[in-house]
């Protein structure tokens, strides 16, 4: 049983990318993708990249790192999540139609559902403990 827990905890973040790529390079790639720590490829949908590029001025395309990481932190409480990074928070704020404070934005369950519906491939969950 404890082996199982360790296995499950190890698996939680195994999909996270080894290296993120900028929106700019994703837009110019023929098949934009990142590689996870587990070796699996994760492809971005072009329509999402287009949506993101409309939300940001072109000068910021190389500053947005993809996928945008949605951190589920146990200390934030159930259903809340943190998105860090100035540009990342700004983009998510625009999708939710509210201002991002400083360099991060905390989102709650209904907002999270909306973000995941609009950006299913360009956002990924990250578990923090």
Partner 1 sequence: MAAAFTSSPNRMELMKVRKRLALAEKGHDLLKDKMDALVMELFNTLKTIQKSRATAIEQLRKGYEAVSACMAVMGTFETMQAAEETKKEIQIEISERNIMGIEVPTVEIEETERNALTRGYSLHTTSSHLDTAAREMERAVKLLVELAELEVTALTLARELERTKRRVNALEYILIPRLQGAMNFIMMRLDEMERENFTRLKRIKAILEGRE
Residues that bind partner 1 (CB under 8 A): 1-2, 4-6, 8-9, 11-15, 31, 33, 36, 38, 40-43, 45, 72, 74, 78-79, 109, 112-113, 116-117, 120-121, 124-125, 127, 129
CB of 15 to partner 1, least distance (A): 4
CB of 58 to partner 1, least distance (A): 26
Q: Is the Cβ–Cβ distance between 42 and 17 less than 8 Å?
A: yes
Q: How far apart are CA 112 and CA 80, in angstroms?
A: 8
Q: Which two tokens stand for residue 58?
A: 């072109």
CB of 19 to partner 1, least distance (A): 15
Nearer to partner 1 by C-beta: 63 or 118?
A: 118
The continuous run of DSSP H or E covering 114 comes out as helix 109-118
Q: Is the Cβ–Cβ distance between 47 and 76 less than 8 Å?
A: no
């Amino acid at each position: 049983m404890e082996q199982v827990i360790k296995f499950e905890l190890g698996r939680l973040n195994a999909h996270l990318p080894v290296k993120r790529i900028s929106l700019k390079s994703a837009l110019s790639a023929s098949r934009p993708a990142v590689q996870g720590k587990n070796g699996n490829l994760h492809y971005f949908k072009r329509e999402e990249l287009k949506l993101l590029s409309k939300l940001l001025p072109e000068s910021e395309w190389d500053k947005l790192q993809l996928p945008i990481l949605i951190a589920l932190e146990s200390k934030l409480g159930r259903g809340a999540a943190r998105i860090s990074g100035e540009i990342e928070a700004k983009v998510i704020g625009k999708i939710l139609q509210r201002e991002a404070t400083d360099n991060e934005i905390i989102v709650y369950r209904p907002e999270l559902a909306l973000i995941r519906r609009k950006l299913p491939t360009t956002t990924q969950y990250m578990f923090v403990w």
